[in-house]
């Protein structure tokens, strides 16, 4: 943790807070470049007291560079930085560094608030030497120091990494109560939406400011994309009109006709306004049988400590399971047991014969760092057939995952953290798994990539188990939550994270579907929510209906294109009719369950 302040020599001097709206700092026409790329080009930004700014952008766009410039630890190539006199800035770095010989107690410097925060973050031994701390522990130690430092501007770079969900909930409320100006980089979309009042997007070497929450920002982006699409549509129509005129006009050109030729040429050569080219995931899954993974009285211990005990579960082929629990509770252990990477100390893990694993873990694959990116892909596959039916080479697949030709020739060891995570994601999906196991998948991925990944998983036909601290991702992707309890048991909660959290906070009743025998006695209270089976059906229908709608659209397009091919037309017509019938049944059932749930809530 580093902090910059002009008042370090007078730490006890009383301070009057800056009034809301008062200027704190401004960047005027600053530029920053590195030998390999330009990051910021002539950007300007003002920060005032009371601002709560969230910074977003793709991996490598310059978010962390911008934070270091504001912090005062990164030089600029051009421009000016103007700070209010006496401005105090405290910052949490993305990868904090401490003196290896220092202890936790020495870093906290006997500050009571810092000690209390460190204890809240799971660091309660002051004699631990910093060199022995894991990356997550170092991040939590730096966070405790940053939050306890008196400042006028607080800068946080990915503060939720390595925190469990309960602590993220606490951090969210803590930041909402603080009065200082805030400058925040995070991939946690719930935190971003609930804490900030302004979004700064780092894109194409520039800064784009949006007033409001993250949701307001998404609305503005949707509007901008719609305008861009309409503009491009009008350009294409004008090109068609001009080309039609050129084809039917006489060869001899008048001055007026030459003007039309020039106009058509300009339209055709005009480049469409730069758009956001997102990651493209179009990788298939394999067929999956009815038997996926059965856990029978499974337990795992390390030394004398049981991490998991008496775990019972039969996984369905379309499972969407989120695993939650405090750091060290056994989330990764559960995933590794399912993946057969480790053996249980009691019980049995039984895997179906059709299962092909895809593993997307926190640690990178053990590939020599000097290996070129394209070589690492070609060692596994020369080409791959996409869900759309086309076959692409390894180079083309890398391009779809946003790796330029220069990046493909780079060594794996030279990739940034976000680029390496994207590479690991590609490697996990390219061999078409039908059981995908993801351990903290949102770490170091930018929001554009997360959105594309979530849309891909919506339509992906396979079973998914994900351990994550990202509340939005759990809500967006998972239909069931498994919570790991202090005694090593695993409890099943239908619904996503929000449903689980609401139940945990608002009800003392045991969650339904406990994996252990001998559940608690049920109360005689009037029912206020759907039964377990009905809620499971509702969650499944909510996921299945969009898939059926896409399937209906695809089959209708294929049927139109099959005109003249009698056998294919009959086959497609039958499949389309069956899809429409299934969709109608699913929508009717969904409406019935939704109305029932609303009635139960109204009667409670």
Q: How many residues does the chain have?
A: 604
pLDDT band at residue 13 using 50, 70 and 90 as cut-offs? very low
Inform me whether the pLDDT recorded for 107 exceeds 60: yes
Distance CA 397, CA 391 (A): 10
Triad 582, 586, 590: Cα angle to 5°: 175
Distance CA 349, CA 339 (A): 9
C-beta neighbour count of 30 within 10 angstroms: 21
Inform me whether the pLDDT recorded for 492 exceeds 80: yes
Q: Is residue 49 within 8 Å of 21, Cβ to Cβ?
A: yes
pLDDT tens track for 85-103: 889 999 998 888 899 889 9
Q: Which pLDDT score, from 0 to 100, does residue 171 have?
A: 93
Extract long-range pairs of 297-305: CB within 8 Å, 24+ residues apart. Answer: 297/346, 297/347, 297/348, 298/337, 298/344, 298/346, 298/347, 298/348, 298/349, 299/344, 299/345, 299/346, 299/347, 299/488, 300/330, 300/333, 300/337, 300/342, 300/344, 300/345, 301/345
Triad 356, 338, 327: Cα angle to 5°: 130
Share of the chain above pLDDT 90, in %: 43
Inform me whether the pLDDT recorded for 595 exceeds 70: yes
pLDDT band at residue 509 using 50, 70 and 90 as cut-offs? very low
pLDDT band at residue 55 using 50, 70 and 90 as cut-offs? very high
Q: Which pLDDT score, from 0 to 100, does residue 257 have?
A: 60
Average pLDDT of the segment spanning 190-210:
92
Strand order in the sheet with 480-484: 357-360, 435-439, 463-467, 320-324, 480-484, 490-494
Domain 2-212 classified CATH 3.40.50.300? yes
User: What topology is assigned to 533-603 in CATH?
Assistant: Helix Hairpins (1.10.287)
Q: For residue 204, which phi and psi values (nearest 5 degrees)?
A: 55, 45
Distance CA 292, CA 270 (A): 53
pLDDT tens track for 521-573: 333 345 567 776 677 778 778 888 888 888 888 888 888 777 777 777 777 78
CATH architecture of 293-517: 3-Layer(aba) Sandwich (3.40)
- What is the number of H-type helices and E-type strands within the chain? 18, 21
Q: Which pLDDT score, from 0 to 100, does residue 407 have?
A: 86
What value does the CA radius of gyration of the chain take, rounded to a whole number of Å?
28
Tell me 103's DSSP state.
Answer: B
Q: Which pLDDT score, from 0 to 100, does residue 137 have?
A: 87
Interstrand relation of 2-5 and 88-92 (parallel, antiparallel or unpaired): antiparallel
Q: Which pLDDT score, from 0 to 100, does residue 6 have?
A: 34
> What distances in angstroms separate CA 83 from CA 25, 72, 111, 204, one per listed residue?
4, 10, 28, 26
Tokens of 197: 């009042």
Inform me whether the pLDDT recorded for 520 exceeds 70: no
Residue of higher predicted confidence among 463 and 536:
463
Interstrand relation of 181-185 and 206-211 (parallel, antiparallel or unpaired): unpaired
Residue of higher predicted confidence among 594 and 369:
369
pLDDT tens track for 262-319: 666 666 666 544 445 567 888 888 999 999 999 999 999 999 999 999 999 999 999 9
Look over the chain and give the mean of its residue pLDDT values, rounded to a whole number.
84
Q: Which pLDDT score, from 0 to 100, does residue 35 have?
A: 76
90 by DSSP, 3-state: which? Answer: strand
Distance CA 372, CA 314 (A): 41
pLDDT band at residue 510 using 50, 70 and 90 as cut-offs? very low
C-beta neighbour count of 14 within 10 angstroms: 5
pLDDT tens track for 161-193: 888 888 899 999 999 999 999 999 998 999 999
pLDDT tens track for 113-160: 999 999 988 888 899 999 998 878 888 999 999 999 999 999 999 999
Q: Which pLDDT score, from 0 to 100, does residue 575 have?
A: 80
């Amino acid at each position: 943790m580093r902090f910059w302040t002009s008042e370090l020599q007078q730490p006890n001097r009383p301070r009057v807070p800056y009034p809301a709206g008062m200027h704190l700092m401004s960047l005027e026409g600053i530029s920053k470049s590195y030998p390999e790329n330009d990051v910021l080009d002539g950007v300007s930004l003002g920060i005032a007291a009371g601002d709560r700014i969230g910074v977003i952008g793709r991996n490598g766009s310059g978010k962390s560079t911008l934070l270091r410039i504001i912090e005062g630890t990164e030089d600029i190539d051009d421009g000016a930085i103007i700070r209010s006199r006496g401005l105090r800035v405290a910052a949490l770095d993305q990868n904090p560094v401490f003196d290896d010989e220092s202890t936790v107690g020495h870093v906290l410097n006997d500050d009571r608030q810092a000690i209390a925060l460190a204890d809240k973050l799971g660091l309660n031994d002051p004699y631990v030497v910093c060199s022995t701390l894991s990356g997550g522990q170092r991040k939590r130690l730096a966070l405790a120091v940053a939050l306890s430092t008196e400042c006028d501007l607080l800068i946080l770079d990915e503060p939720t990494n390595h925190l469990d969900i309960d602590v993220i909930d606490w951090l969210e409320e803590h930041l909402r109560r603080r009065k200082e100006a805030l400058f925040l980089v995070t991939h946690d979309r719930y935190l971003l939406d609930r804490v900030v009042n302004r979004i700064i997007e780092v894109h194409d070497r520039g800064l784009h400011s949006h007033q409001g929450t993250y949701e307001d920002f998404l609305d503005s982006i949707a509007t901008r994309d719609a305008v861009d699409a309409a503009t491009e549509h009008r350009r294409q129509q004008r090109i068609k009109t001009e080309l039609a005129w050129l084809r039917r006009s006489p060869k001899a050109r008048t001055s007026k006709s030459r003007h039309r030729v020039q106009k058509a040429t300009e339209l055709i050569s005009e480049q469409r306004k730069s758009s956001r080219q997102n990651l493209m995931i179009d990788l298939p899954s394999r067929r999956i049988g009815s038997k996926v993974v059965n856990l029978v009285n499974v337990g795992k211990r390390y030394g004398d400590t049981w991490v998991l005990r008496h775990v019972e579960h039969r996984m369905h082929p379309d499972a969407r399971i989120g695993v939650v629990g405090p750091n060290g509770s056994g989330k990764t252990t559960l995933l590794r047991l399912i993946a057969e990477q480790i053996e249980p100390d009691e019980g049995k893990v039984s895997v179906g014969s059709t299962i092909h694993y895809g593993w997307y873990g926190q640690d990178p694959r053990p590939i020599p760092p000097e290996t070129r990116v394209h070589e690492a892909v070609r060692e596994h596959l020369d080409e791959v057939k996409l869900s759309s039916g086309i076959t692409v080479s390894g180079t083309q697949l890398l391009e779809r995952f946003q790796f330029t030709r220069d990046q493909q020739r780079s060594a794996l060891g030279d990739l940034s953290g976000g680029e390496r995570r994207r590479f690991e994601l590609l490697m996990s999906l390219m061999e078409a798994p039908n059981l995908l196991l993801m351990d903290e998948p949102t770490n170091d991925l930018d929001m554009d990539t997360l959105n594309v990944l979530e849309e891909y998983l919506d339509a992906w036909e396979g079973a998914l188990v994900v351990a994550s601290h990202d509340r939005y991702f759990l809500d967006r992707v998972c239909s069931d939550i498994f919570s790991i309890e202090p005694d090593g048991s695993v409890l099943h909660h239908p619904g996503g994270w929000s449903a689980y959290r609401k139940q945990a906070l608002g009800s003392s009743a045991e969650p339904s579907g406990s994996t252990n025998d001998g559940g608690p006695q049920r109360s005689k209270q009037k029912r206020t929510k759907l039964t377990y089976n009905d809620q499971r059906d509702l969650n499944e229908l909510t996921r299945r209906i969009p898939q059926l709608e896409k399937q209906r659209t695809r089959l209708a397009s294929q049927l139109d294109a099959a005109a003249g091919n009698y056998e294919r037309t009959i086959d497609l017509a039958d499949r389309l009719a069956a899809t429409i019938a299934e969709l109608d049944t699913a929508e009717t059932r969904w409406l019935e369950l939704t109305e029932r749930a609303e009635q139960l809530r109204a009667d409670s």
